[in-house]
Structure 1
């Protein structure tokens, strides 16, 4: 699905639909996935793909350090950038840059310098970021960046972002609702995972406590026995109300698979490994339709589960998220 500018956003069946253009979201994920392949020793990657993804992130960055998300097939920014919130895509870009820098020893040295320059231009944006997920993705990126380039400035960035997320949690969390918002929506697992990574980076116990408390709450909401059923994108799950409807997306399952690995690495609780395998098996048929979501014939991943059918399109988000989840099973 990768072309001149990045990775194509959508497909019709297993055929990339170039008319849908590219997004920073998908290209950032693709950069992380390629780096994961190298970091886990699962094979070689074509460096031109990595450079294409890195170039796209640089292309999307604006003079004030922020990023635009939507680019058409000819490389022109679309009007969607003015109509849709971009905080989360900005966070994913920071996450991908931090992860790339942590793996940059596998790639030409100037690429690392380029990624660092892009990342540092985002610093001026921190005081404007309020979206919990954007904060969480940034935290994850700076955690990885700090592993390769430790500094007091990086720790200060992590402290600032983690305190923001902790304050969001304290404002909302109650006895029976241990969460950052008054609802559960998409990509939920990144929030507790980011708090746990912040703890690992700067050692503050409060972050670890919030991470564990919120993650256990989330697990109870999305696991039924040994099967995961993530929050439906048809209305989400609001505090004090039951969740209704179907509409499960690979991005949510993959995020949980990855977060479970992180929690196991810190807490050494074997249940997290068991749940990680159960969650990953959603792709292989352990879901309410008992149907495989990963397509072994193409290497792609279907775009989600509805009540009675699978969405057979195999877009960039679904396919890359599946790959990242699979690779997380193999990492140390």
Structure 2
């Protein structure tokens, strides 16, 4: 059992912040706090999620996942990973500047996708935030179940500036390492620093830390202490290096030369490891923090110096004011080189008093060492967890193969047809109906054997009636859109909607269980078949090819169908030859929607025509497409709608649509039937698990009892619309996987989005 003051013991947490080897104080703090928790509570599982600025830091195995600061989907993926990992709470280390978006508001996206408790350590609390900073801080405070700050003033600012509830605020001083107290001489000898007085400032070098003021204080001091050296330890801040190189460091070296103290100023220009840094601190006689502004509420460098027993000379920023209030250091005015010089003189004039003060500083800082910090943090974590309602979560892993469920489709269907859209699953009649969705529904209902046969027959007749009514004898084409008042909104639909309807009719002829329905489909299919001669859209042609291939399976003597399918396959071969180039093996110069239907149509045509060339083209283009639809992490990533219209371009990841996953599964099933290669099974499974959360955002697309499907994935998360196209895509994908893998009779595992 772990340390706790409240509620149930905590066994698993997630920590979000920066991480070493990223060079910044927050990375050091977050990594050391994680190490402290793991060391103090050995049975506690601590998952470290690291913010990454994209500048090449290579993280070790202690980091579970990285989040690109500007990559919104990565925040959502991380939230999903935290939820799914079993973590009982998330501890966030917040600092302005490490999270993307205005004032770091991408972090709020992550928080919106969490249902577990959140504790936030605020490393900066601004007294005068701008409008964006105030907005983000207020939202962060509202989302947090507990707040940690490191200074009394920070707690006061939270209450007075941000209206935070004081009951949720805990003051936990900055953690620090623990080493035995030691005189400075052994460490001076270890580092080769010489035996003279040593003053030190460490941390990433940047303007605002007042180093130039400290250098200006040295001439008076070195007159009395000619062996004194001032060590400025730390690399230049990476952001500053990227902006201006080492210009700031060069101005400091120039200043030291100008003042005649260049021999007394030593730059240790690198990011020190923890043990070497502590060696430098223990070799130090006086620690100096000459910061120029008061608002810094926490300073890790100050906390480390005090823990090593270093008397401090500091300007009165918030952390220093509070930490040095008990006489363990000296406060000097901001920007006052003479005051710094006088304070250094005062400490150095009596070595015995300085050593006694050093011991007193070390004793007073024992309450801040890392294991004490970890216990205080665990105290708040346990309290935050205990204040959350107890919930029982089903931790069984989601299963990929699921039975087709028709309830959601039936709920979207009235006596006219299936409605296009819904509001949280409630049919939205304002958008009426379309033949695209009714054709999809008709095809699925005739192919599946799931559910009640009587109900399937009822639904099939409704969708067939819609398709029949959509046929316009005057134009020889199908209409597409109908208002809820049963009035058609056009005289003819798009080529794609007509091709999709031909496909559905062909599937009815092949798969419907009722002979009367097959006869009806046969008559209407032959009426509409001349449309194929006039089609120019590749997808319309592909849809019609799939319909004609289905017809030829049951009517191999349908000569006109065979002729049109043969010419369509030839046309696709021409399209491929015209569009392909090195690295681009596709029928068009762009990727768009329902992409997998194109190679699926070629494979289907090759099968029924005995055309090995068509089959080969279908297999090769599908393999190329699958490569484009595979994320670097290995999961399925459908071509996003943001990609449409971009010639010869790599696909964009969003928005991702369910119909792409369904089409890919169908195409893989056709490919496996053609050559028996197991890679198609793997690819189909990968596309199917996209629905259950194996995707870029690690979020399931199904909701409620598994009968409905959300409309896709956006950079901001799941698109919560529930349209007929998406609902049908999920169930059709299940049908395809059931036929593909022989799992039709498996009991469904429900997947729920909260």
TM over 0.5: yes
Q: Which of 477, 480, 489 does residue 69 from structure 1 map onto?
A: 480
Describe how 1:90-109 pairs up with structure 2 within 5 A. 90-104=498-512, 106-107=513-514, 109=515
- 2:475 equivalent to 1:51: no
CA contact (8 A) 2:655 2:715 kept: yes
- 2:706 equivalent to 1:295: no
Larger radius of gyration: 2
Counterpart position of 1:119: 525
Describe how 1:209-228 pairs up with structure 2 within 5 A. 209-224=616-631, 225-228=633-636
Q: Which of 411, 419, 422 does residue 8 from structure 1 map onto?
A: 419
Q: Which of 165, 173, 177 does residue 572 from structure 2 map onto?
A: 165
* Cα offsets for 1:155-212 (capped at 9, x unmatched): 1121122222222222212232110110101100000000000000111122012112
Counterpart position of 2:715: 307
Describe how 1:76-155 pairs up with structure 2 within 5 A. 76-79=487-490, 86-104=494-512, 106-107=513-514, 109-151=515-557, 152-155=559-562
SS at match of 2:563: helix
* Residue 31 (structure 1) shift: 0.6
Counterpart position of 2:80: none
CA distance in 1, matches of 2:415, 2:600: 33
Counterpart position of 2:725: 317
* Cα offsets for 1:88-146 (capped at 9, x unmatched): 11111001000011013x11x33222211110011222221010000000010111111
SS at match of 2:422: strand
Q: How many residues align?
A: 325
Counterpart position of 1:176: 583
* Residue 245 (structure 1) shift: 5.3
Return closer, same or farther for 1:220/1:292 CA change in 2, 3 Å cut-off: same
CA RMSD, Structure 1 to Structure 2 (Å): 1.7
Describe how 1:142-291 pairs up with structure 2 within 5 A. 142-151=548-557, 152-224=559-631, 225-236=633-644, 238-244=646-652, 246-291=654-699
Counterpart position of 1:37: 448
Q: Which of 311, 326, 332 does residue 734 from structure 2 map onto?
A: 326
Return closer, same or farther for 1:263/1:245 CA change in 2, 3 Å cut-off: closer
CA distance in 2, matches of 1:209, 1:174: 18
* Residue 262 (structure 1) shift: 1.3
CA distance in 2, matches of 1:244, 1:110: 46
CA contact (8 A) 2:532 2:544 kept: no
CA contact (8 A) 1:133 1:190 kept: yes
- Normalised TM-score (structure 1): 0.93
CA contact (8 A) 2:421 2:427 kept: yes
* Cα offsets for 1:43-75 (capped at 9, x unmatched): 634311101111111111111431111011121
CA distance in 2, matches of 1:242, 1:285: 23
* Residue 252 (structure 1) shift: 0.9
Bigger relative CO (Cα 8 Å, ≥ 6 apart) = 1
* Residue 276 (structure 1) shift: 0.9
CA contact (8 A) 2:590 2:649 kept: no
Q: Name the one with the larger helix percent.
A: 1
CA contact (8 A) 2:642 2:653 kept: yes
Unaligned runs of 5+ in 2: 1-411, 741-754
CA contact (8 A) 2:506 2:547 kept: yes
CA contact (8 A) 1:91 1:137 kept: yes
CA contact (8 A) 2:590 2:648 kept: no
CA distance in 2, matches of 1:26, 1:313: 16
CA distance in 1, matches of 2:518, 2:650: 47
- Normalised TM-score (structure 2): 0.42
